[in-house]
Structure 1
Amino acid sequence: MTPFGQRLRELREDRGISLTSLAHALHVSPAYLSALEHGKRGRPSAGLIHQVNEHFGLIWDDGEELVRLARLSHPRVVVDTAGLSPQATELANRLARRIRDLPEARVAELLALLETDSE
């Protein structure tokens, strides 16, 4: 599941809306919406994000948060380390190999570390 897919499912379930009903309202197939929620499809289009924001009445920070989550929701990431240090290339390769085996607590630690370093 992607961050966008998780948030979309939360919005839908919090409001008691079925996947089929939401798909119909957004003019997409239920299969596509399910694939988005489960991380089987890439990032949604800007138009679809806008439709979701409108459908759920998301404005300001909530709407921007959905856009941010969509940007972070590509399920097949490619990391270009050309021109970076050997250590950066090693990190990218080791993370790619091991990410499926990392416990959620460790993933949360790594995300927190990246958030701290980006400030």
Structure 2
Amino acid sequence: MSPFSILMKELRTWCGLTQVEFALKLNVEQSYVSAIEVGKKGPPSADFIAKLIEAFDLDRRWERRLEEALDLSQRRMELPKGTSTETYRIFNGLRKQINDLHPAQIELIEYALKLPEVIKMHESQLRVTRAASGNVEKDLGQ
């Protein structure tokens, strides 16, 4: 199930409502609520999120969680113009194997996606260490 499916069910149960009651409050069909919760329906529109927030008077914390879950649950992705051939290959390989990825593959992909952040953090730490030791001119890349 998608992150949005899980969060919407969590919200409904947190409110103490059945799917029918939840749907009535949102002015949608119960079958729509059910389809989202079991992952048969893709993530809803931003308008639906706004309707959820208003109907249940949700605070900023819930709003952020819903927006994040909506972003994480997108099923369709489009590569931007100018994307490299290598990126197309990687994306296509991922698309073909998406349902058969081993947990180790997922972990490696997640780690690889975090590498720029990790490198930046290590570079900052190295700069601080060198500055503290009076070795500022020997900073990274110089």
Percent pairwise identity: 31
1:70 paired with 2:64, answer no
Query: Aligned partner of 2:4: which letter?
Result: F
Question: Higher RCO, 1 or 2 (CA under 8 Å, sep at least 6)?
Answer: 1
Structure 2 equivalent of residue 96 of structure 1: 95
CA contact (8 A) 1:79 1:92 kept: no
What is the deviation of 1:74?
A: 2.4
User: SS at the partner of 2:41?
Assistant: coil
Distance in structure 2 (CA, Å) of the matches to 1:21 and 1:105: 41
Query: Aligned partner of 1:73: which letter?
Result: S
What RMSD in Å do the two structures reach over aligned CA positions? 2.6
CA contact (8 A) 1:81 1:88 kept: no
In the TM superposition, what whole-angstrom CA distance separates every residue of 1:76-96 from its partner, at most 9, and x where no partner exists?
Answer: x23326532222111101110
TM-score by length of 2: 0.66
User: SS at the partner of 2:92?
Assistant: helix
The higher radius of gyration belongs to: 2
Structure 1 equivalent of residue 49 of structure 2: 49
Query: Aligned partner of 1:69: which letter?
Result: A
The change in CA–CA distance for 1:44 and 1:115 in structure 2 (over 3 A counts) is farther
What is the deviation of 1:116?
A: 5.3
Q: Which runs of 5+ in 1 are unaligned?
A: none
What is the deviation of 1:110?
A: 3.0
What is the deviation of 1:102?
A: 1.6
Query: Aligned partner of 1:97: which letter?
Result: K
Structure 1 equivalent of residue 82 of structure 2: 83
Q: In the comparison of the two structures, how many residue pairs are matched?
A: 118
TM-score by length of 1: 0.76
What is the deviation of 1:66?
A: 0.7
Distance in structure 2 (CA, Å) of the matches to 1:109 and 1:56: 39
Distance in structure 2 (CA, Å) of the matches to 1:90 and 1:22: 43
In the TM superposition, what whole-angstrom CA distance separates every residue of 1:31-59 from its partner, at most 9, and x where no partner exists?
Answer: 11112222322331223212222344421
Structure 1 equivalent of residue 130 of structure 2: none
In the TM superposition, what whole-angstrom CA distance separates every residue of 1:92-111 from its partner, at most 9, and x where no partner exists?
Answer: 01110111112456435534
Structure 2 equivalent of residue 107 of structure 1: 106
The change in CA–CA distance for 1:63 and 1:81 in structure 2 (over 3 A counts) is closer
Q: Which runs of 5+ in 2 are unaligned?
A: 121-142
